[in-house]
């Protein structure tokens, strides 16, 4: 009887060494996912435009994303114009925009204006955009504003 027990034990030991491991080690996967989560949590706020504005709210839907980096022109509450986080004087706006248009594939530009800016100033800047050759002007707003369809 003792001889049979020893044979069973030997067979069991041999199988454990040669048998493939059937368990998945999840710890490295969790570690990698946590690192990626932290990286995206830190990087996501840095991807937004850097000029702080109080954008008006509308019920409009989001614009689909573009293959190249969007060109953003901002008008903060003080009224100074900012092109891609760089201040631009009013007299230089058309010239700078024409130079940028030469290097880009698309004539799309995103116009961000603070909600407290007078409408006349926004229209004046839109006229400068049109004079520079931009025909696809996207007005950037925050979502969740009032709806006009009842």
Which is it for strands 136-140 and 108-113: parallel, antiparallel or unpaired?
parallel
Nearest partner of 134 among 97, 105, 96, 103, judged by Cα = 97
The helix (run of H) or strand (run of E) holding residue 9 is: helix 2-18
Question: How many CA atoms lie within 13 Å of 145's alpha carbon, on the beta-carbon side?
Answer: 14
Give the confidence band of 48 by pLDDT, cuts at 50, 70, 90: low
Residue ranges covered by each domain of the chain: 2-47, 57-143
Q: Which residue has the higher pLDDT, 129 or 5?
A: 129
Q: Which of 74-78, 81-85, 145-149 has the lowest mean pLDDT?
A: 145-149
pLDDT in tens, 91-128: 888 999 899 888 888 888 899 988 888 888 889 999 99
Give the confidence band of 65 by pLDDT, cuts at 50, 70, 90: low
Question: Could you give the percent of the chain with pLDDT greater than 90?
Answer: 11
Looking at residue 66, its pLDDT comes to: 61
DSSP string, 60-88: PPPPPP-SSPPPEEEE-TT--EEETTEEE
Check the CA dihedral 72-76-78-84 and report its sign. Answer: negative
pLDDT of 134 higher than 80? yes
Which is it for strands 108-113 and 72-75: parallel, antiparallel or unpaired?
parallel
Question: How many CA atoms lie within 13 Å of 72's alpha carbon, on the beta-carbon side?
Answer: 20
Nearest partner of 122 among 73, 86, 49, 83, judged by Cα = 73
Q: What is the topology classification, in CATH, of domain 57-143?
A: Nucleotidyltransferase; domain 5 (3.30.420)
Q: What's the token pair of residue 60?
A: 């409009």
């Amino acid at each position: 009887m003792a001889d049979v027990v020893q044979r069973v034990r030997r067979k069991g030991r041999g199988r454990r060494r040669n048998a493939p491991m059937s368990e998945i080690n999840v710890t490295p996967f969790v570690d990698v996912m946590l690192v990626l989560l932290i990286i995206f949590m830190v990087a996501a706020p840095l991807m937004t435009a850097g000029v702080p504005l109080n954008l008006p709210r509308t019920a409009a839907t989001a614009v689909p994303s573009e293959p190249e980096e969007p060109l953003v022109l901002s008008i903060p509450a003080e009224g100074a114009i900012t092109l891609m986080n760089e201040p631009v004087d009013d007299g230089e706006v058309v010239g700078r925009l024409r130079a940028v248009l030469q290097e880009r594939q698309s004539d799309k530009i995103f116009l961000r204006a603070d909600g407290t800016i007078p409408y006349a100033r926004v229209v004046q800047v839109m006229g400068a955009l049109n004079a520079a050759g931009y025909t696809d002007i996207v007005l950037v707003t925050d979502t969740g504003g009032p709806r006009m369809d009842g």
